Structure 1
Amino acid sequence: MTQSRLFQHENREKSQETRRVYALFELVYTLVDFGAALCFIVGSILFFYESLMTPATWLFVIGSVLFAVKPTLRLVREIKLISMGDTKDVASRLEN
């Protein structure tokens, strides 16, 4: 029985399904990155206008939350990948 660990390249290469899950998480991660960057860019522009300080501040808060989502996505992805493909190991344990 092999021990799977988080953030190991082999976890994403176990099967076609793990490669699909990895790609899906990477796509979401990239979209979150773009969303955060867009919030900070637009928020920065809005800070030039005193009347738009409140929306600018909210965009900075939203951008910060999106940046916090990124490591969460990576951790969830790794836990999901480790849990996938363990059916042979589970089946062999049930036989014993």
Structure 2
Amino acid sequence: MKLFDHKNRERNDHTRRIYALYEIAHTAVDFLAAVSFLIGSVLFLFPDYETPAVWLFILGSVFFMAKPTLRLLREIQLYRMGQLDSLAGRSS
């Protein structure tokens, strides 16, 4: 068993549910990043709105940074769930 192994997410109903929840969160963060950059880009067309545009670009960057963080957290959680399954199987 290793990180980023597709078998980790298909182990049982609980791992499939965890995977799905992380995918929803990842998609939501991706969407928020895109919206932040789009609105920021439009605001840059108007000099009076340059400061909010910069803040939206910073926010969009934070969202883009959150995407790989979510994936890593998901994989660690799925890996640990597999480790617990293995331990439970050995004690039976």
Give the TM interval when normalised to the shorter protein. over 0.9
Higher helix fraction: Structure 1 or Structure 2?
A: 2
Matches within 5 A, 1:73-92: 73-91=70-88, 92=90
Paired position in structure 2 for 1:46: 43
CA distance, structure 1, for counterparts of residue 16 and residue 69 of structure 2? 19
CA distance, structure 2, for counterparts of residue 59 and residue 22 of structure 1? 29
- TM-score of the pair, normalised by structure 2: 0.93
Q: Which runs of 5+ in 2 are unaligned?
A: none
How many residue pairs align between the two structures?
91
Contact 1:15/1:85 (8 A) holds in 2: no
Cα deviation, residue 88, structure 1 = 4.2
Contact 1:43/1:59 (8 A) holds in 2: yes
* Residue in structure 2 matching 1:23, options 20, 35, 40: 20
Cα deviation, residue 89, structure 1 = 2.4
Task: Single out whichever of 80-89 and 54-63 deviates more from structure 2.
Answer: 80-89
Q: Which runs of 5+ in 1 are unaligned?
A: none
The answer as to 2:80 corresponding to 1:65 is: no
- TM-score of the pair, normalised by structure 1: 0.89
Deviations 1:15-64 (A, max 9, x none): 00000000000000000000000000000000011010000000000000
Question: Is the radius of gyration larger for structure 1 or structure 2?
Answer: 1
CA distance, structure 1, for counterparts of residue 37 and residue 7 of structure 2? 35
Moved over 2 A (4+): 85-89
* Residue in structure 1 matching 2:31, options 24, 31, 34: 34
Instruction: Please state whether the residue corresponding to 1:62 is helix, strand or coil.
Output: helix
